[in-house]
Amino acid sequence: MKADVITLHTVRNYGSVLQTYATMKVLNKLGYDVEFIDYWRESNTSDAIAKLILRRNRITSRIKLINDDRNPIGSFSKWFIRVMFVDKKNIFWEFITHNVNLTQARYYSFEELLSNYPVADVYISGSDQIWNSDWNGGVDRVFFLDFLPEESKRISYSSSIGKEHLDTKEISLFQKMLCKYSGITVRENSAKELLDSIGIKSHQVLDPTLMLTDVEWRTLAAEKQTIKGKYLLVYQLNDNPLFEKYTKELAILKGWQIIRIGMRRGDRKKIGRCLNNVTIETFLRLISDATCIITDSFHMTAFSLNFKVPFIVVKPKKYATRIESILMMTGTEDRILLSFDEYDLCDRKIGFDKVEQVLLSEREKSFSIMKKILID
């Protein structure tokens, strides 16, 4: 049986790439050959990212010719930035192309998929924030598999809405498209509650990254680690000066070095030793060997739980429900930093034996739900 999956595999983000890989592995365990629909939102293309870099640069942003695609200078500038700084460092795409199966055709629009959709036995949307209209710049019908014929079998796997409320227009679109699904599973309890409120039945399941055990992830991790001594691993997705100040003071207090996983040039200016654009394998190894982790990321929180590494969560201002959901499920809500003068949080013991039992139970439950949905 062949399953074609639509997800956020083109996003330059460790969590997005690892959930793509994990989704494939989970569906393989369920007996499916998996192919990911190679759909690129315009904002994720190399050209769009190169243009964004030019706009954000203090010098090039003031030169109108550079930001004009119709002008040869603008076209050359965008090409140069793309070749030298965008495509050259895309360790995420390198991992995807080496580790997951993609459709032969690449799609850039709903219309292209509508006229030439790939053939499969079942179509799956998920996981990650595929239904977050803020993230996607509106409700993207592609992520709801709305390009398929009516008779096609659609299910969702651990899909996330990200936010807790939908506006009136979004509600009608969600209802219209999701009623075509034969089974819906979501990642957060807030997503289940939201869909329940608009008359859409769903089940909550684990994020695919948690469906794989720590042993399975460690086989993918880099073998060697060059960092000696204890270190506080920082994975920060949102700018927050208080986050950075707390990190510095905590590390000094504990006598730890600070290792920061960077994704932008500006990360090098932040406190700690910044490792920019590390490979996926090194990313996993850094988590595995950390003394403690501080993060505002859902997936870093998930890996901290899975790898049994002490961690501290700084709640982001937006989309925090997904982190709260996994913490409530595992009974680790006390890992949320409530005050930036709370320096003993890292010393509080985490009941990882209990966490492991919860994850084991939730994996079995999630596999059972997915099996039933796929068979029905």
pLDDT higher than 50, residue 227: yes
Residue that has been written with the tokens 């039992």 in this structure? 357
pLDDT for the residue numbered 72: 57
pLDDT (tens digit, 9 = 90+) per residue, 250-268?
Answer: 999 999 999 999 977 778 8
Pick the CATH number of 222-357 from 3.40.228.10, 3.30.230.10, 3.40.50.2000, 3.30.70.260: 3.40.50.2000
d(C-alpha 329, C-alpha 227), whole Å: 33
Token digits of residue 306 = 């899975």
Three-class SS of residue 2? Answer: strand
pLDDT higher than 90, residue 178: yes
pLDDT for the residue numbered 249: 96
User: Mean pLDDT over residues 69-97, rounded?
Assistant: 63
Cβ atoms of residues 151 and 182 within 8 Å: no
pLDDT for the residue numbered 203: 97
Percent with pLDDT over 90 in the chain? 72
Phi, psi of 102 (to 5 degrees): -120, 155
**Residue 246 to residues 145, 232, 270, 272, 368: CA-CA distances in angstroms?**
43, 12, 12, 12, 42
Give the CA angle between residues 332, 239, 78 to the nearest 5°.
130
pLDDT for the residue numbered 65: 46
Which residues of the chain are in CATH 3.40.50.2000 domains?
A: 2-45+89-212, 222-357
Q: Sheet containing 273-276: give its strands across.
A: 273-276, 257-262, 231-235, 292-295, 311-313
Pick the CATH number of 2-45+89-212 from 1.10.510.10, 3.30.70.360, 3.40.50.2000, 3.40.50.2300: 3.40.50.2000
User: Mean pLDDT over residues 277-282, rounded?
Assistant: 93
d(C-alpha 214, C-alpha 229), whole Å: 22
Choose the weakest-confidence range: 35-44, 228-237, 310-319, 342-351.
35-44
DSSP annotation of 187 reads S
Q: Which helix (H) or strand (E) holds 294?
A: strand 292-295
Token digits of residue 220 = 């993918």
Three-class SS of residue 339? Answer: coil
